[in-house]
Each structure stands twice: as C-alpha cells, then as structure tokens.
C-alpha cells in the first residue's frame, strides 16, 4: 500500500517477482445521466446550475485566475480530503503478510477503514 498527496491509497501487487500498481482503493463514481443531460423531473434547475458551474470553471472567475488559470482537481468524491499520512494493515493473524483490511488517516482528520475485498483492486490483490 502507498498513499500521499493524491488523497487515495494505492495498492501495489507482486506477480512473478515484479511489482506493479494494481490501482487506487476507490474510483470516481460515474456521473448520473440526469445530471449530465439536465433531464428528468426538476431538471431545469439542475441544468441551469450545471451550466453556471461549467461557465464558472472555464472562465476562472472567482478563483483569481483568468482563462489560462490551472483548473483545480475535484477531490470531493474521495474519502480523504487531504493528503494521507498513515496506512496500517489490520485483521490478520500475527506473522501474516496478508491483511484483509487497512486503515488510513489523513491531514483532514479522517480515519477510513478499507475492506480490501470490497475495493476495485480486490482481484489484482487476490482477496
């Protein structure tokens, strides 16, 4: 396991003596079709809000930047909202190298427990 400034813990696995990045313990959820299309019940307000947010994001207004300003990455879907500073394995017998779960703590003050079998990288980790 590894973590840091990306706000999401990363899993690494070994196969045939080679290490590889298995992936992150969480993935960004897919946008709902209603939100993307602005359709559905009450979709007019949602479409207007989405249009305003898109216009605000591309113009850079309100963030002090112009059209060439770097776009801030959206981390709101992530379990941690700041860098991860600790990763601890738990739930395994003493002396075991495999853990069924890990906990992470971040500079945001959050403690998150990850059951590895329920993560997107479960197959790559063999759990």
pLDDT at 46: 74
For residue 72, give the DSSP letter: P
Bridge partners for 104 per DSSP: 87, 112
What is the structure's pLDDT at 107? 92
List the domain boundaries for the chain. Answer: 1-26+78-127, 39-74
Say what the pLDDT of residue 33 is: 59
* pLDDT for residue 18: 92
For Cα atoms 122, 123, 127, give the angle at the middle one, nearest 5 degrees: 55
Among candidates 20, 26, 7, 27, which has minimal Cα distance to 114? 26
For 57, counting Cβ atoms within 10 Å of its Cβ (0-12 exposed, 13-18 middle, 19+ buried), the class is middle
Sign of the torsion angle spanned by Cα atoms 74, 80, 84, 88: negative
Tens-digit pLDDT string for the chain (127 aa): 888 788 889 999 888 889 999 999 988 888 765 544 544 455 677 777 777 777 666 545 444 444 555 566 676 788 888 899 999 988 888 777 788 999 999 999 999 999 999 999 888 888 7
pLDDT at 56: 65
How high is the pLDDT of residue 39? 47
- Residue that the structure tokens 């939100």 belong to: 35
User: Would you state the pLDDT for residue 20?
Assistant: 92
Instruction: Give 104: exposed, middle or buried? Use CB within 10 Å, 0-12, 13-18, 19+.
Output: buried
The pLDDT value recorded for residue 126 is: 81
Q: DSSP secondary-structure letter at 12?
A: E
Q: What integer pLDDT is reported at residue 85 of this predicted model?
A: 92
């Amino acid at each position: 396991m590894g973590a840091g400034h990306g706000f999401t813990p990363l899993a690494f696995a070994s196969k045939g003596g080679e290490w590889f990045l298995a992936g992150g313990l969480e993935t960004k959820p897919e946008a709902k079709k209603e939100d993307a299309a602005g359709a559905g019940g009450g979709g007019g307000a949602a479409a207007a809000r989405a249009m305003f947010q898109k216009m605000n994001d591309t113009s850079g207004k309100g963030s002090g930047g112009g059209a060439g300003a770097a776009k801030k990455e959206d981390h709101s879907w992530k379990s941690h909202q700041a860098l991860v500073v600790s990763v601890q394995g738990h739930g395994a017998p003493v002396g075991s190298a495999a853990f069924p779960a890990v906990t992470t703590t971040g500079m945001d003050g959050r403690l998150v427990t990850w059951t590895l079998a329920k993560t997107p990288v479960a197959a790559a980790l063999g759990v």
